[in-house]
Chain A
Amino acid sequence: EVQLVESGGGLVQPGGSLRLSCAASGFTFSSYSMNWVRQAPGKGLEWVSYIGSSGNTIYYADSVKGRFTISRDSAKNSLYLQMNSLRAEDTAVYYCARDQREWLGTYYFDYWGQGTLVTVSS
């Protein structure tokens, strides 16, 4: 069974940093592209970042470019999101999500974690 479990969320002050993790199991993690998608409280979905299966292809939404860094560790079956210079508008539930197909990035997502809440507030 495919499982994605996020962790690392919490309360952080504006300008602070946080590192999110996503532990993957039930599939060959190294074969799939992965993503972070966020959802502000009561709002819609916003794609944040993509990383290819090998880690060599990375994309970011303009809203987080230069502040967030996505990475992965296939030995640990884990996906990460390093978030720096956090702003109030980054407050959201952050989901990790898997691309549907192995190897080729599909850019739509067939498995999602339950999410971790990040609150940026003083």
Chain B
Amino acid sequence: EIVLTQSPGTLSLSPGERATLSCRASQSVSSYLAWYQQKPGQPPRLLIYGASSRATGIPDRFTGSGSGTDFTLTISRLEPEDFAVYYCQQYGSSLTFGGGTKVEIK
């Protein structure tokens, strides 16, 4: 099973700052990686698929990059609605999710 490790566990930032979230795979998943955002009491929301393609309606402040084993989700300028938990998911070999990164208000 491919294990996804997300870091940091928690990111404390202020609105307007840049957020950089990491997702590392235990073996290569090529570009078969997606990112989701989840707010309390809500289902996840697809942000990025194919490592770097934005899903429909996702603002361009969200950028995905990487391939192989190392991936990054960057939020260029945090808006108040961006404070949430973010998960990566690989679909290169079966399907697994990372443990999540919580982006909280500093």
Chain A contacts to B: CB under 8 angstroms: 44-47, 50, 59, 61-62, 95, 97, 100, 106-110, 112-115
CB distance from A34 to the nearest CB of B (A): 13
CB distance from A13 to the nearest CB of B (A): 27
Q: Determine whether B46 belongs to the interface, using a CB cutoff of 8 Å to chain A.
A: yes
CB distance from A108 to the nearest CB of B (A): 4
Which residues of the other chain, B, contact A113 by a CB distance below 8 angstroms? 43
The answer to whether B96 and A108 touch across the interface, beta carbons within 8 angstroms, is no
Provide the bound-state CA to CA distance between A109 and B46, in Å.
7
CB distance from B38 to the nearest CB of A (A): 8
Q: Determine whether B105 belongs to the interface, using a CB cutoff of 8 Å to chain A.
A: no
Question: Using a Cβ cutoff of 8 Å, how many contacts connect chains A and B?
Answer: 51
The answer to whether B97 and A44 touch across the interface, beta carbons within 8 angstroms, is yes
Provide the bound-state CA to CA distance between A89 and B73, in Å.
31
Chain B contacts to A: CB under 8 angstroms: 1, 32, 34, 36, 38, 42-46, 49, 55-56, 87, 89, 91, 94-100
Provide the bound-state CA to CA distance between A110 and B57, in Å.
11
CB distance from A53 to the nearest CB of B (A): 17
The answer to whether A44 and B34 touch across the interface, beta carbons within 8 angstroms, is no
Provide the bound-state CA to CA distance between A109 and B55, in Å.
10
The answer to whether B97 and A110 touch across the interface, beta carbons within 8 angstroms, is no
CB distance from A22 to the nearest CB of B (A): 12
Which residues of the other chain, B, contact A47 by a CB distance below 8 angstroms? 89, 94-97
Provide the bound-state CA to CA distance between A55 and B7, in Å.
37
With contacts A106-B49, A108-B89 known, is A44 near B98, CB below 8 A? yes
Q: Which of B43, B46, B56, B99 contacts A108 (CB 8 A)?
A: B46
CB distance from B102 to the nearest CB of A (A): 11
